[in-house]
Structure 1
């Protein structure tokens, strides 16, 4: 009995000593040649009142105990067939309890498990809703990432024409990261989409992101005469009042907004994320056989201010509109297109009149080929029909390429498989932005 008490006292003294005691032997580093190591690691645990056969004597008389434990030995065989762990527990009563555990083999090595955890860490699972116009783009976005799950909405109308909307399985998105892919292609569809946009954040979701590839009122951003209404500011105010979700303010993802100052139109209750389609253009230009001979032309100073920093490694040509009598014509302000494949770059096109005039003046000054890029191809009244394909190497009569993105779904459907148009999809850019 005396020997047993002395041994317990020695163990008690050893367990309560500092873990930084220099008399302790350090824990050897495991290696491929060493499958056994032992140490006296001091752990402090808070044990809650539950009973098992192994530690019933430890917790039978207490609701919460401070427990000290010592790892006596740990054996891990390289073939993962057996792992033995011996732990000594010392309760407040001074009794020493030992538990020996043999764990079953693991089907996945620890390193592989850690690698898998680190690979998935930080990836958000997104529930992506969409309207009828953006269904095709939403499917392309979901195809780019396994972390994005498409969710549909029932878009109906009452007999009087007002929206009759329903979000299926609304309780199923609680605690989820939610996004909505919108298209404000006309005033008619804005109200029904705003109704959904205002409803989703209130469904106890973790976060809400509005993806609006094209900000439609961007060209109406200033007042030139008293009485003008800057509808860009109006729409920004509407979006700034989207209800906050459990995770905070709504995030807004939009591409190549028309005027740089419009980012300041949004209030503090929304977090605008301004993306650009220019990286898609640059990737496409690198694939051209004459990529070494590309020059970039801007149809006006506004386009130059907006994009020149992203395209500064290309030779640059800047055009400008000047008034001659009753007409406004396009002239080259700086740069030389002689012998170059010139790509006209702007944020959007509507009727296309300025772009066509720019094409003609570039061809007149010696451009070997002329192409164009706009992020947003609006083309009201089918104005895309004005652009012809240069099939004979005559840039004065047509374009070699006209690149647009799929930010305006109705345009994509109209120009698909029609030369010189080629669609560069925003799907990958949007999928990446949803992970921010």
Structure 2
């Protein structure tokens, strides 16, 4: 997990680009190469003056979900427009269709409305994101799926930040299972009975071996 990855641009004047500072600190500390998993923005790789291997978490999640044998009854959902590429990648690996949640506020001071673009009725819905922070958006998306007739809803993410009320929200949300990876160690009290933690170690270990032996790292992106 690359800390401060969401501060990759100035949202207003005089805001720091902290993701660039983190890259500078890593380089100044003497690193000669960086292996990262699911950077929040691909362009963060350009902050470094050393080689960066950007590994996707989707293959690890896809390998686990394939064992569920959903057949043609699964649909992969992106909780926002920004995550469509990731959701499309997972959908392709599972051979499932894609749906998108379009969240918009119809007028100032009115509640946001979630429009579901795609058919989720009677389906095993898999909502995928790179980071779950406070879990507000993904839990709202899950409820929208249930309202649209989803059979069951799965939540998947690479980085379980779980700050603030995240665990309480996830516990109250209608998730059949919450699938995360261990890019961030989960503290005591930040797990749930329906939570599965997948190890990213085989992916990172294989990447290091391939780098050391000068082999193709892109092979790791295939499932």
Q: TM-score range by the shorter chain?
A: 0.7 to 0.9
**Residue of 195, 198, 203 corresponding to 1:424:** 198
Q: 5+ residue gaps in structure 1?
A: 1-213, 245-249, 390-396
**Residue of 7, 11, 14 corresponding to 1:224:** 11
Residues 330, 343 of structure 1: CA spacing in aligned structure 2 closer, same or farther, 3 A cutoff?
Answer: farther
Aligned 8 A contact 2:62 2:90 in 1: no
Shift of 1:403: 0.5
Q: How many pairs does the alignment contain?
A: 207
- Determine the C-alpha separation between the residues in 1 that align with 2:145 and 2:113: 10
Bigger radius of gyration, 1 or 2? Answer: 1
How large is the RMSD of aligned CA atoms in angstroms?
1.9
Aligned 8 A contact 2:116 2:144 in 1: no
**Residue of 63, 78, 81 corresponding to 1:301:** 81
The answer to whether 1:358 aligns with 2:141 is yes
* Superposition TM-score, scaled by structure 1 size: 0.45
Higher RCO, 1 or 2 (CA under 8 Å, sep at least 6)?
2
Aligned to 2:208: 434
* Superposition TM-score, scaled by structure 2 size: 0.85
Aligned 8 A contact 1:253 1:274 in 2: yes
- Determine the C-alpha separation between the residues in 2 that align with 1:353 and 1:330: 14
Aligned 8 A contact 1:237 1:266 in 2: yes
Aligned to 2:214: none
Aligned 8 A contact 2:78 2:100 in 1: yes
Considering fraction of residues, name the structure with more helix.
2
Aligned 8 A contact 1:350 1:379 in 2: yes
Aligned 8 A contact 1:348 1:377 in 2: yes
The SS at the match of 2:35 is strand
Shift of 1:329: 2.2
Aligned 8 A contact 1:299 1:358 in 2: yes
- Determine the C-alpha separation between the residues in 1 that align with 2:71 and 2:189: 28
Aligned to 1:33: none
Considering fraction of residues, name the structure with more strand.
1
Shift of 1:289: 4.4
